[in-house]
Amino acid sequence: MFFYPYGFFDGSMIFLIPAIIFALYAQSTVKSTFNKYLRVPTQRGYTGYDVARGILDQNGLRDVPVELTNGHLSDHYDPRKRTLRLSHEVYHGSSVASVSVAAHEVGHAIQHANGYVPLSLRNAIFPVASFGSQMAWVFILAGFFLQGMTVLVDVGILLYSAAVAFQVVTLPVEFNASSRALTLLDTNGYVAGNELQGSQKVLRAAALTYVAAMATAVAQLLRLLVLRNNRRR
């Protein structure tokens, strides 16, 4: 017998709505901040590629390639292939935003090379978190719709918890990479003193998106726990 999951859109949404609003604010902030400083050229004219290649070489990571990738704000470090990938506007750009993002991604490469524990932990739980984020809702919805199968909800929540754990561990990884980036940009002279504040704003805005992602994941988990408990009453 099937039943409509009564209460699935009830007062428990109070956990999720503020997190969603915060996430939308974070996305808007990172886009506006990035676009603003994408139009501010650095005085010394280094491109994102110059910064990435220079810092990698200085840290003994000459074997880590810097590749061009498609997309907007698609910059990332791939720990599996030990490859740094930069979007066109960062790779070729010589703006404050470009060099800041490039330095941040290099921060991840240095973390990987140094065995930074939070990054190692995040990489270790990624496969479980990826599976959990994809399959959690299959179990959760099945548990809500199939009478007497609330155990499926528990399985789904457990899987979703792995995705939440991934978001939590991501925070120190991203904050540390940004801290490294600011130090590297300053000490290596890639940005002038008055440009460092712009770099800070770009990286803080980017960090806000990770905080929002974690807040949304935690809020959703709390909501699911409330729904499960309501169903069992």
Nearest to 48 by CA among 190, 189, 172, 179: 190
SS3 content of the chain, % helix, strand, coil (to 5): 70, 5, 20
The pLDDT tens digits for 184-210 are: 999 999 999 889 999 999 999 999 999
CA distances from 75 to 59, 72, 98, 170 (A): 20, 8, 10, 16
The pLDDT tens digits for 14-23 are: 878 999 999 9
* Residue-level pLDDT at 149: 74
* Residue-level pLDDT at 230: 74
Burial class (CB in 10 A: 0-12, 13-18, 19+), 160: buried
Q: What is the pTM of this model?
A: 0.88
The pLDDT tens digits for 138-158 are: 998 888 887 667 789 889 999
Active site residues per annotation: 105
Cα separation, 52 vs 59, whole angstroms: 11
Cα separation, 83 vs 152, whole angstroms: 39
The pLDDT tens digits for 32-85 are: 999 999 999 999 999 999 999 999 999 999 999 999 999 988 999 999 999 999
| pLDDT at residue 2 greater than cutoff 70 | no
| pLDDT at residue 3 greater than cutoff 60 | no
pLDDT tier, 10 (very low <50, low <70, confident <90, very high otherwise): low
